[in-house]
Chains A and B, each alone.
Chain A
Amino acid sequence: MSQQSVLYDVPGPRQRRLTLILSVVAGLLVAAGAYYLIYLPLDEKGQFSLELWGPLIDPSNENFVLVWQRIWVGVQNTLIAAVLAIVCSLVIGTLLSILRIQLKSLTTRRFADSTAPVAYFLRGLSLGLSALTRVCVEVFRGLPVVITIFFVARGFPEFGITFDTLWYLVIGLTVYNGVVIAEILRSGMEGLPPGQREAALAIGLSPLQTTGLILLPQAFRIMLPALISQLVVVLKDTSLGFIISFEETLNIGKQIILALSNPIQVYVVIGLLFILANYSLSKLAQYVQRRLARGRKTAGLPPQNPPPAAVTAQAEASVV
Chain B
Amino acid sequence: MSVLVDKFDVFAGGFWLTLQICVLAAIGALILGAVVAVLRISPVPPLRALGTAYVTIFRNMPLTVVMFFAAFALPALGSNADFLRIPVLDVVFTRLSTDLPYFRFALIALVLYTAAFVCEALRSGVNAVSPGQAEAARSLGLTFGQNLRYVVLPQSWKASIVPLGSVIIAMIKNSALIGFFGVVGDLSATADQLTGAEGYAFIPVAIGISIGYLIMTVPLGALLDRIEQRQAVAAR
Contacts and interface: CB of A to CB of B under 8 A. Distances in A.
A30 B46 contact: yes
Nearest to A3: B41
Interface stretch (A88-96, A97-105, A135-143): A135-143
Given A146-B180, A242-B64, A243-B180, A155 B165 contact: no
Contacts of B90: none
A315 B182 CA distance: 27
A50 B78 CA distance: 21
Nearest to B218: A142
Contacts of A313: 121, 162-163, 166-167
B213 A142 contact: yes
Contacts of A243: 180
A64 B188 CA distance: 37
B65 A250 contact: yes
Given A278-B60, A313-B121, A314-B169, A239 B76 contact: no
B232 to A, nearest CB: 8
B227 to A, nearest CB: 9
B82 interface: no
Interface in B138-190: 138, 144, 147-148, 152, 162-163, 165-167, 169-177, 180, 188
A8 B144 CA distance: 8
Interface string B60-90: 1111110011001100111000000000000
B167 A310 contact: no
A319 B177 CA distance: 11
A120 interface: no
A146 B76 CA distance: 28
A47 B50 CA distance: 24
A42 B171 CA distance: 30
Given A3-B126, A147-B188, A27 B214 contact: no
Contact of A7 (B41, B121, B191, B214): B41
Contact of B165 (A23, A38, A147, A310): A310
B149 to A, nearest CB: 12
Given A142-B213, A275-B57, A310-B166, A237 B62 contact: yes
Contact of B191 (A142, A147, A271): A147
B65 A267 contact: yes
Given A267-B68, A270-B65, A275-B61, A144 B44 contact: no
B19 interface: no
A155 B218 contact: no
A199 interface: no
Contacts of B206: 151, 155
Given A267-B65, A274-B61, A310 B43 contact: no
Nearest to B47: A26
Interface string B191-225: 11001100000110010011001100110010011
Given A3-B126, A144-B213, A9 B78 contact: no
A319 B170 CA distance: 7
A142 B214 contact: yes
Interface string A283-320: 00000000000000000000000001110011011111
A11 B77 CA distance: 41
Contact of B60 (A282, A309, A317): A282
Contacts of B59: 278, 282, 319
Contact of B43 (A19, A138, A142): A19
Contacts of B60: 232, 236, 274-275, 278-279, 282
B213 A147 contact: yes
A124 interface: no
Interface of A: 2-9, 11, 19, 22-23, 26-27, 30, 37-38, 41-42, 45, 47, 138-139, 141-147, 150-151, 154-155, 158, 232, 236-237, 239-240, 242-243, 250, 263-264, 267-268, 270-271, 274-275, 278-279, 282, 308-310, 313-314, 316-320
20 contacts: A2-B127, A6-B127, A8-B144, A23-B45, A26-B47, A27-B46, A45-B78, A144-B174, A147-B213, A151-B206, A250-B65, A264-B69, A264-B73, A267-B69, A267-B72, A267-B73, A271-B57, A308-B228, A317-B171, A318-B170
Given A2-B131, A41-B77, 17 more contacts: A3-B127, A7-B41, A7-B152, A8-B43, A45-B78, A142-B213, A144-B188, A150-B192, A242-B64, A271-B57, A271-B69, A282-B59, A310-B166, A310-B221, A313-B167, A314-B170, A320-B177
